[in-house]
Amino acid sequence: MDPEQLDEFVMGYLKKKGFNGAAKQLQDALHHNNNNNNGTGSSSSFNSTDYHNDPELTKLIRSFSQSENDPTRYRNGYSNLRSWAYNSLDLYKHELLRVMYPVFIHCYMDLVGKGHTQEARAFFNSFRKDHEMIHLRDLQKLEGVLVPSHLEEMEFARSLRQSKVNIKICQYSYDLLLQYLHRTESTLMLGIINEHINFQVYSGQPNSSSDDIDAVTIVGSFQETADHVNQKEIQWGLLEDSLEDRLEKTGSLLTDSEKGQGESKDGDVDDSNKKRSTEIGKQGSSLKKLKKDKAGNATAKVARQETSTVSPAPRVKSELALPVMSTDVEESILEDLRNRVQLSSVAMPSVSFYTFVNTHNGLNCASISHDGSLVAGGFSDSSIKVWDMAKIGQAGSGALQGESDTNDQVAGPNSRRNYTLLLGHSGPVYSATFSPPGDFVLSSSADTTIRLWSTQLNANLVCYKGHNYPVWDVQFSPFGHYFASCSHDRTARIWSMDRVQPLRIMAGHLSDVDCVQWHPNCNYIATGSSDKTVRLWDVQTGECVRIFIGHRSMVLSLAMSPDGRYMASGDEDGTIMMWDLSTARCITPLMGHNSCVWSLSYSGEGSLLASGSADCTVKLWDVTSSTKLTKAEEKNGNSNRLRSLRTFPTKSTPVHALRFSRRNLLFAAGAISKPTS
Amino acid sequence: MSIVPKETIEVTAQSIGITNLSPEAALMLAPDVEYRVREIMQEAIKSMRHSKRTTLTASDVDGALNLRSLEPTYGFASGGPFRFRKAVGHQDLFYTDDREVDFKDVIGAPLPKAPLDTELVCHWLAIEGVQPAIPENAPLEVIRAPADNKIYEQKDGPLIDVRPPVKHVLSRELQLYFQKIAEITMSKSSPALFKEALVSLASDSGLHPLVPYFTNFIADEVSRGLNDFQILFNLMHVVRSLLQNPHIHIEPYLHQLMPSVVTCLVSRKLGNRFADNHWELRDFTAKLVSLICKRFGNTYHTLQSRLSKTLGNALLDPKKALTQHYGAIQGLTALGHNVVRLLILSNLEPYLSLLEPELDCEKQKNQMKSYEAWRVYGALLRAAGLCIHDRLKVFPNLPSPSPSLLHKGKGKIISAETRKRKLSADSSQNQLPHKRLMTTTDGLRPQDHTGPAPMHVDKPMGKKGNESESRHQNEKERGKGRVITMKAILGQIWKDDLDSGRLLVKLHQLYDDRILPFIPSTEMSVFL
């Protein structure tokens, strides 16, 4: 490039960028220069054109001029960076490779943004393999973006463009990267990296790749808010004066005092425990004092919990006005709890499986009551069918019962069906849930409503309208009366049975809220979303108190451990994650299923987790080993995996619902799918 | 560029009446169309997930369109798979293949059956962590080899507490069951209990995991308990019960089971006491063999040939004891008349000539030996008789013979039968059978049955005789009213199947009249 061309380019560049003044000056200078050169030949004092003599600068300008609009620049730059990263030292490789994904998607979006649709597609296709393993879902989303306007329209792309990605990287890797970028003068890559990546450089050796979960979800500044949110304090303990509590007090003096001894190291906290164990006799008078004690200690316990995981769950107060349970219901629950089978990794539960036959592919959801006697199915033809297994068990009485049940259904003259048909929705029913005593059923549907049904009257009682889009899931609270729902409209809502308007609206998810679950103490709900996060919300304030990041695809099922300390979530890919609620960290991912995990359930004492999946299996996981071992794991850096204890394959029946009864019998339900051919 | 080719856009535009769409516009539209389609599909997949399905349906897409307040697609709800056709002249252009349906056909077709109503069935997926082998559950995997288990556990290191692998596989209940059954089988005290155990073995559905243990147990005990007749008999009963159980898949273990069974059939000595009726055990085992062959002959092609080879070898080896020969003959008889014809009848003459000296009590002083010889003789007779009986049965339409003939025939049958029964009974008393025969030929004498028979040894044979007798009667009734001349039939027999005629003659030569009871009365009348 001869000097004239260079000048011209610099000129054009300045003009294009709107530096009109500078351009004019330059023009003048050039003019002047030329005159000087041509005329007097005297050297000018004006040194604006010394870039002609500076080879570095010339090169830089040349690269600019070549490729201001050249789409192949991205491809070349990226592929160079990629091959450099892949050939780098093993120790630092994974950190450097982590940088590749943000660079990749931003290169792609830059290309799209500049209108090089074809090149963008080619670029995308040639490198997508690198990232498919971890980021498949994101890539699928981005793949469709082909026109600049899509970038504006699509929320995901917009948030990517606007925010920076945090990447933890060790000092040496960082230096290596910068060195490379400067040496090769790949200004384009440098620009992208500067613009979209926020390096958190730390000194010392690079991390082992164990914490790559953090790097999985690129939500930009979202991560910071998540970190911020997760600082909030939550009280995950069980409700004080719960039935379990009472049973413990009346039932087992021994274990209680043992616990008291176990905790004797912790100062004032175990005072209350000791008090409790000593004052069992005169419960009545001391109870009030005890409560006060505990309320004060609750926060201390949260902190303490991290040091000793074997201690019992702390007690917290309910922030909701809970419904009063009738004494006979209470009695039956207490009876069940007394008769509970103790499960562990060596004492497996029995599994009773309810198979729906002749569903014609129409079963959308199934639900099992707490005692397993009632089973509800929600169908795509808007109907809900409720079976009373206790009645079906009595052979021969089917005819009689069929007649007595038909008070509100239009039964054909010769049809003697053994279920109750509930009609009312006007769209596919996506979820159904039983109230704890089994006297009510709630259902949610694509018609945006939630309906309350009575299993005694077999009739619709209330229709709750509030959501604007299909309601994906609805769940009764552990004590009934309140329920939570979640919807395609990206909100979760809290309702009570006696109001047709929602009491709280939880907004914050970036995509559909797909599932919802109550915390055992009723003060929190957890929601799983298509934005691949799980959030925990305070029911009283409606605030988000935890964000759990780590899933790689949409979250389909949630379960809370009975002690309220852990949560399990299952996703579309078959991964189950165990979370510690207080730290918002994933204890360990449970790999094993190879298709959607539709349902999760903890056993009564929380030692086993059951998962039901579309791959036609029920799996049992030993949860105690993992939670106990977290401490050891932290110490010796040994990443343990939760044990998969058993796999029960069904006969080509995807498992839609699971529930441990109070006596620890596991119920499962699913519709048999005949091989289609 | 976009995966939607611009031709698609053009075709779609034409289909909705836009004819003047410029190629540039189509090109511009294509990426947007792709984006919108992806958007819709994303929503449709959500709808699919919430319907707990893993296949996308047209209704899911409709649901997604509905969410966007768009009109749903019509005409795709039937659920049948769509057939896409390639448009002629375009490379990547497809359209759905709509069949033309004639109204007449639709109206004329019979109404489809009403779909079955949804039902809920309940079963145990697992009982205390073990999956019962019931039809509702997925078929159990073959029990894992212990070696695999060990490797797996070692890999996981100290985290996993190592337990003996067998106990993982068998539930406590099954172990107890096995122990109990084994105990009952080995004890001789309570036949009633044993009978119950057999019924349980033959009918319980969850026993499959125990099958390898049972086969092992049987093999061990048979090899150890050859001297204990009762135990052998019990074990064979267990085998039979296992074979009868419809829920057990015993085939893979058959090769382990067969040696024990064959041992009980052709072993030189079964039981050590004189009183042990090993003949009965051999007869029972022979029936077992035929049961096995009938059930697994189809799937195990080599089973029958191998069995008959083993038994044939045992029979034709003159060094083997007569008891072994007896077992072999019974076993071969159980395998069917073809086998008998091939292996026994072809060797009958030389064998009988060998047997002759043993039969003669003058030459053979050992009473026991002589008795055994007579048993073998009886078994051979039975085998030959059954064979000829089956062969003659092949001729379907035989005329009813004249009453007098029939009567005569019947008389003969009965007398011959008593004779046969006497044959064995008498031989035990070491009398010359021919003398007896002379005394009994003149007719039926009831006291003959009860009189000189101190040992009721020949039960199965007697039964067989009764059966054949009743069969004769049926035949007689059926044959009534048929009017085909005797001559024709005779001609047919000699013409169609020369073999059976000759066989009969040959057997008659060898056995004299003793073969006659096995010949169906009508056929007999023909020959007589």
In contact, A437 and A480? CB cutoff 8 Å: yes
Tokens of A380: 């795509």
Between CA A594 and CA A589 the distance in angstroms is 14
Neighbours of A16 (CB within 10 A): 10
pLDDT single digits (tens) A61-95: 665 555 556 778 888 888 888 888 888 777 777 77
Please tell me the predicted confidence (pLDDT) of residue A299. 40
Q: How far is A450 from chain B (nearest CA, A)?
A: 16
Inter-chain contact A651–B126, Cβ cutoff 8 Å?
A: no
Smallest Cα distance from A44 to chain B, Å: 53
User: Shortest CA distance to B503 belongs to which of B394, B397, B385?
Assistant: B385
Chain A, chain B: beta-carbon pairs less than 8 Å apart: 161
Binned at pLDDT 50, 70 and 90, residue B494 comes out as low
For chain A, the farthest-separated pair of C-alpha atoms sits apart, in whole angstroms, at 120
Contacts made by residues B163-172, CB under 8 angstroms, sequence distance 24+: B169/B143, B169/B144, B169/B209, B170/B209, B170/B210, B170/B213, B171/B127, B171/B128, B171/B130
Q: What is the pTM of this model?
A: 0.57
* Residue B199 falls in which region: left (phi positive, over 0), alpha (psi -120 to 50) or beta: alpha
Chain A nearest C-alpha distance from B6 (Å)? 14
d(CA A343, CA A562): 13
Inter-residue contact A366 to A384 (CB < 8 Å): no
Q: Quote the minimal CA–CA distance from A542 to chain B in Å.
A: 25
Nearest chain A residue to B59 by CA distance is A380
Contact call for A355 and B42, based on CB within 8 A: no
| Of residues B360, B347, B340, the one with CA closest to residue B318 | B347
Q: pLDDT band at residue A668, thresholds of 50, 70 and 90?
A: very high
Tell if the CB–CB gap between A358 and B137 is shorter than 8 Å.
no
Spell out the SS3 assignment of B336-391. CHHHHHHHHHHHHHHHHHHHHHHHCCCCCCCHHHHHHHHHHHHHHHHHHHHHHHHH
pLDDT tens-place string over residues B79-108:
566 677 777 777 767 777 777 888 888 888
List pLDDT tens digits, range A557-579: 999 998 888 999 999 989 999 99
Cβ separation B79–A361 shorter than 8 A: yes
Q: Which of A352, A363, A625 sits opposite B124 (nearest CB)?
A: A352
What's the rounded Cα separation, in Å, for the pair B407 and B524?
12
Whether residues A358 and B124 touch (CB distance < 8 A) is answered with no
List CB contacts (< 8 A) between A625 and chain B.
159
CA distance A365 to A661: 19
Task: State the pLDDT at residue A41.
Answer: 42
**Residue to substitute from A571, A651, A659, A676, interface B, most B β-carbons within 10 A:** A651
Instruction: Give the pLDDT confidence score for residue B528 in this predicted structure.
Output: 52
Question: Measured between alpha carbons, how far is A61 from A73 in angstroms, rounded to an integer?
Answer: 15
Distance from CA of B166 to the nearest CA of A (A): 15
Task: Using alpha carbons only, give the angle A97, A103, A106 rounded to the nearest 5 degrees.
Answer: 155
Q: Are strands A513-518 and A504-507 parallel, antiparallel or unpaired?
A: unpaired
- Opening angle at CA B485, ends B482 and B491, nearest 5: 125
What gap in Å lies between CA B410 and CA B404, rounded to an integer? 10
Which residues are bridge partners to A612 per DSSP? A599, A618
Distance, CA of A525 to CA of A484 (rounded, Å): 8
CA distance A567 to A560: 4
B465 versus B372: the higher-pLDDT residue is B372
Do the Cβ atoms of A248 and A255 come closer than 8 Å?
yes
Place of tokens 């299923």: A593
Could you say which of B35, B63, B160 has the minimum Cβ distance to residue A144?
Answer: B35
Cβ atoms of A530 and A548 within 8 Å: the answer is no
Burial class (CB in 10 A: 0-12, 13-18, 19+), B105: exposed
pLDDT in tens, A452-486: 999 999 899 999 999 999 999 999 998 889 999 99
Q: Tell me, what's the pLDDT at A467? A: 93
pLDDT higher than 80, residue A672: yes
Phi, psi dihedrals of residue B468, rounded to the nearest 5°: -65, -30
Q: Give B340's DSSP letter.
A: I
State the angle between helix axes of B211-224 and B229-244 in degrees (0 to 180), rounded to the nearest 10. Answer: 160
Residue located via tokens 């929190």: A524
Most distant pair of Cα atoms in chain B: their distance: 120
Give the helix, strand, coil percentages of chain A, each rounded to 5: 40, 25, 35
Angle subtended at Cα A513 by Cα A511 and Cα A516, rounded to the nearest 5 degrees: 160
**Lookup: tokens for B87:** 């448009």
Tokens of B176: 């107890």
How confident is the model over A399-436, as pLDDT tens digits? 333 334 434 444 343 456 788 999 999 999 999 999 99
Helical H segments across B140-210, by residue range: 146-156, 165-169, 172-186, 191-203
**The most confident of A7-16, A94-103, A559-568, by mean pLDDT:** A559-568
- Cβ <8 Å between B1 and A117: yes
Chain B residue with Cα closest to A374: B120
Is the pLDDT reported for residue B390 higher than 50?
yes
Q: Which two tokens stand for residue B264?
A: 């009980």
Parallel, antiparallel, or unpaired for β A471-476 and A482-487?
A: antiparallel
Q: In a 3-state reduction of DSSP, which class is residue A380?
A: coil
Residues with Cβ within 8 Å of residue B297, at least 6 apart in sequence: B303, B304
CB contact under 8 A, A648 and B125: yes
Q: Count CB atoms within 10 A of the CB of residue A196.
A: 20
Among A51-55, A334-338, B20-24, which is the least confidently predicted range? A51-55
In whole angstroms, give the CA distance from residue A124 to residue A122. 5
Element (H, E) at A643: strand A643-649
Using DSSP's 3-state secondary structure scheme, residue A421 falls into strand
Residue A366 parent element (H or E): strand A363-368
R_g of chain B computed on alpha carbons:
37
**Residue appearing with tokens 């047997």:** B355
